[in-house]
């Protein structure tokens, strides 16, 4: 009597189960994960209290320093303007809280004052910014890591110091106004500001006063400021865009699609960038991030004829990386909308077809293998009973 080939049937069942597992498990294990950029926040150190009875009062200082046209020469020929706007100081964040002049000018104990060692006004600004560290320890620690501080360390005297951004005597808290931040950065970055002010973000902020749109520090941070020359800045820059464009509550106010980030991460470009982020964050990827297509400071509305991502301009944008791209090349891009009956309906219907057909096909094969196996076992059992009788 010939025995059933159980080993062959078992091999078929095992192989089928492995194939089914790979079909359904592969997307789970290969799905891109996106680790958010996190900058650790340090607790704010307690500020020293204003002096109730300073040894040298502000009125004594202003008796001379509110005199118009008060200047002293510096070693390299510049003139240092020493006239202080008394009302401006009184309205400043320091003056309004009652701080004394000598709490910042710690080297002043009376008159005559110590001779200045700075040869230029830039040297003096850098020197005086050191006084800020005494009270603003946390901000100073972050500033030391930023591009401005690193520029000073490398000898760039034009790099921004505390007083360049916050002023010396009419000190303001910049975080209360997005517009004020942009206008402060303009002092050094005027060329970039002129581009930004005509962008979709700049127009909304500077002309319409919309505080929801990003200003300079939204992307570059304030004290721990970063830029494209820093390691990983460009690679992780999609996260900066996602802070706003993946915020459903914020984007709902402007009827803007929030799938832009997820659809980018899911396509070929975004998937490759994500792999670099997870495996080689210290290396730059040659795949485009948001700013490569949409621009940096000059981002435009998609209704603007100069936008780099509208249909008539998209080919030229693609050709920056794909110089041989033909006119039909951009048609392969599905935009930032998941396929549905409104956007890319053909792709949506094909996806829907396969979402139905694949499980049914695999399930049918599995059902066939199982029933065939039991049928063979049943036949073998019946054959064995017949032989025994």
pLDDT tens-digit map of 165-200: 998 899 888 888 899 999 999 999 999 999 999 999
By the 10 Å C-beta count (0-12 exposed, 13-18 middle, 19+ buried), 262 is classed as middle
First to last CA, the chain: 13
**pLDDT tens digits for 319-331?**
999 999 999 898 8
Total number of domains in the chain: 2
Mean pLDDT in the chain? 83
Does residue 335 come out as left (phi exceeding 0), alpha (psi in the -120 to 50 range) or beta?
left
**pLDDT tens digits for 241-297?**
999 999 999 999 998 888 888 888 888 888 888 888 888 877 777 788 999 999 999
328 and 248: one domain?
yes
357 and 296: one domain?
no
322 and 358: one domain?
no
Residue where the block lists tokens 């916050």: 166
236 and 298: one domain?
yes
Report if residue 25 sits inside a domain: yes
Report if residue 263 sits inside a domain: yes
267 and 320: one domain?
yes
Model pTM score: 0.72
261 and 303: one domain?
yes
322 and 237: one domain?
yes
Report if residue 297 sits inside a domain: yes
307 and 376: one domain?
no
Report if residue 220 sits inside a domain: no
Domain carrying residue 315 = 231-338
Report if residue 235 sits inside a domain: yes
Length of the chain: 389
141 touches 149 (CB < 8 A): no
Report if residue 215 sits inside a domain: no
277 and 319: one domain?
yes
256 and 328: one domain?
yes
Report if residue 221 sits inside a domain: no
304 and 356: one domain?
no
Per 3-state DSSP, what percentage of the chain is helix, strand, and coil (rounded to 5)? 50, 0, 45
């Amino acid at each position: 009597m010939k025995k059933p080939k159980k080993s062959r049937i078992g091999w078929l069942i095992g192989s089928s189960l492995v194939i089914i597992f790979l079909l359904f498990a592969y997307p789970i294990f290969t799905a891109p994960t996106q680790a958010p950029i996190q900058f650790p926040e340090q607790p704010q150190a307690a500020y020293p209290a204003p002096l109730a009875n300073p040894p040298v009062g502000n009125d004594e200082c202003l008796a001379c320093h509110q005199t118009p046209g008060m200047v002293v020469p510096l070693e390299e020929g510049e003139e240092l303007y020493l006239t202080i706007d008394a009302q401006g100081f009184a309205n400043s964040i320091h003056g309004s809280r009652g701080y004394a002049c000598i709490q910042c000018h710690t080297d002043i104990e009376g008159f005559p004052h110590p001779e200045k060692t700075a040869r230029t006004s830039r040297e003096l600004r850098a020197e005086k910014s050191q006084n800020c560290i005494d009270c603003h320890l946390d901000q100073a620690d972050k500033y030391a890591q930023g591009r401005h501080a690193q520029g000073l360390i490398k000898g760039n005297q034009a790099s921004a110091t505390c007083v360049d951004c916050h002023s010396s005597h009419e000190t303001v808290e910049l975080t209360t106004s997005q517009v004020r931040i942009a206008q402060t950065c303009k002092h050094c970055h005027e060329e970039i500001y002129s581009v930004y002010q005509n962008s979709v973000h700049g127009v909304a902020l500077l002309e319409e006063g919309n505080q929801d749109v990003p200003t300079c520090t939204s992307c570059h941070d304030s004290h721990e400021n970063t830029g494209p020359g820093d390691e990983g800045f460009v690679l992780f820059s999609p996260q900066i865009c996602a802070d706003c464009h993946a915020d459903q509550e914020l984007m709902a106010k402007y009827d803007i699609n929030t799938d832009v980030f997820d659809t980018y991460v899911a396509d070929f470009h975004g998937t490759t960038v994500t792999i670099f982020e997870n495996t080689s964050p210290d290396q730059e990827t040659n795949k485009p991030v948001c700013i490569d297509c949409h621009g940096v400071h000059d981002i435009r509305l998609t209704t603007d004829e100069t936008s780099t991502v509208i249909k008539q301009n998209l080919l030229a944008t693609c050709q920056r990386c794909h110089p041989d791209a033909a006119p039909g090349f951009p048609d392969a891009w599905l935009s930032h909308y998941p396929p549905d009956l409104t956007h890319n309906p053909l792709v949506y219907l094909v996806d829907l077809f396969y979402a139905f057909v694949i499980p049914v096909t695999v399930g049918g094969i599995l059902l066939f293998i199982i029933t065939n196996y039991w049928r063979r076992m049943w036949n073998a059992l019946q054959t064995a009973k017949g032989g025994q009788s």
